[in-house]
Amino acid sequence: MTIQSINLGTAPTGAGGDTFRSTGSKVNENFTNQTHAASRYVGTDAGNLMQVGAFGLGGYMTQIAMPNDSKVMGSGFYYYDVGTAGSSTWQQVETNVFVLRSSFSNLPRGFEIGVLPYTNKFYLRSNDAGGAAWRTPVLIRHSGNTTVDSNGFVKSASPVVKLYADKIDLNDEAAEQQITFEKVAIGHYLIKGSTGLAQVGWYIETPKDANGNILFAVLYELLENGDIEVKTYKKKFDIEQAAIVADLDKPIDITQNRWIDIRLQELPQKEVSTTPPSFQPTNLSQAVAEAMGNSDGVE
């Protein structure tokens, strides 16, 4: 039923308008009829009218204590604090997390997509039907944390440089570094201003042919000044070593439309601190005074 409007009649006497009883009847209908918002309480319980910000919708997410996996929660946007006492598989990620949650029923089950604050690391977790335990969050692989190497294989990516015969291409993380390129001579390249080769996992990948054979031999070295030196040569078979080695007398450029993938060390992560609302100094002396617990200031 629609909201009942009161007929005030004509001014100034109200002639033709609702009587006292009919006015009261309409008011009562408006506040007891559950089919429209006028009769609803504002809140987050069943049957309530949500306000802006409820469940993180339309407002800003607020940080909440890490909920136990057994807790029944509605769908919404949440900011879980991993440092609080709780029992959740999110704690295996070891950081706070922004979460989009979809709950299936009045049970602690559904799925969640989470992103670690200020990163491009996205995770997904879910559980089995029937409210079984939540699974450990799994990392979502995407173009921001993987790269496709010169041979078409997907690899983990931190900062990655693609070295061509006449240029370099940087992924987003590598672009945060002040990296420059210099071609010294045929098959002789310098990558300058980087953090150096990755210390964990893969760090260099050379292009191969359809049979898995390298197209050319590659020698690389981290110089004392921090430059990464890469040299490419024709390959030859060494009888004594019974292996394919570089023919140091025959340098060649990197094959056209192919490249060498070079993975670098990541830049140190910037620390992000949140100033408590109660601590908002306006000048240095006030900041020191409040930090020292001295409201009279600092001599």
At which residue do the structure tokens 């953090």 appear?
195
Tens digit of each residue's pLDDT (9 = 90 or more) over 230-263:
999 999 988 888 888 999 999 999 999 999 999 9
Nearest C-alpha neighbor of 114 from the set 129, 135, 133: 135
Q: Which parts of the chain fold into alpha helices (H)? A: 20-32, 172-175, 284-292
User: How does residue 274 score in pLDDT terms, banded at 50, 70 and 90?
Assistant: very low
Phi-psi region of 103 (alpha: psi -120 to 50; beta: other; left: phi over 0): beta
Query: Which tops the pLDDT comparison, 35 or 96?
Result: 96
- Sign (positive or negative) of CA dihedral 214, 217, 222, 226: negative
pLDDT tens digits, 149-170: 878 888 877 789 999 999 999 9
Band the pLDDT of 299: cuts 50, 70, 90: very low
**127-131, 209-213, 227-231, 240-244 — most confident range:** 227-231
The Cα–Cα gap between 92 and 69 comes to: 13
Please tell me the distance from the alpha carbon of residue 137 to that of residue 120, in angstroms, as a whole number.
Answer: 15
Which residue(s) pair with 113 in the sheet?
Answer: 100, 124
Tokens of 176: 């945060």
The dihedral sign for the CA sequence 81, 82, 83, 87: positive
**Torsion, Cα of 72, 76, 82, 84 (10° steps):** -60
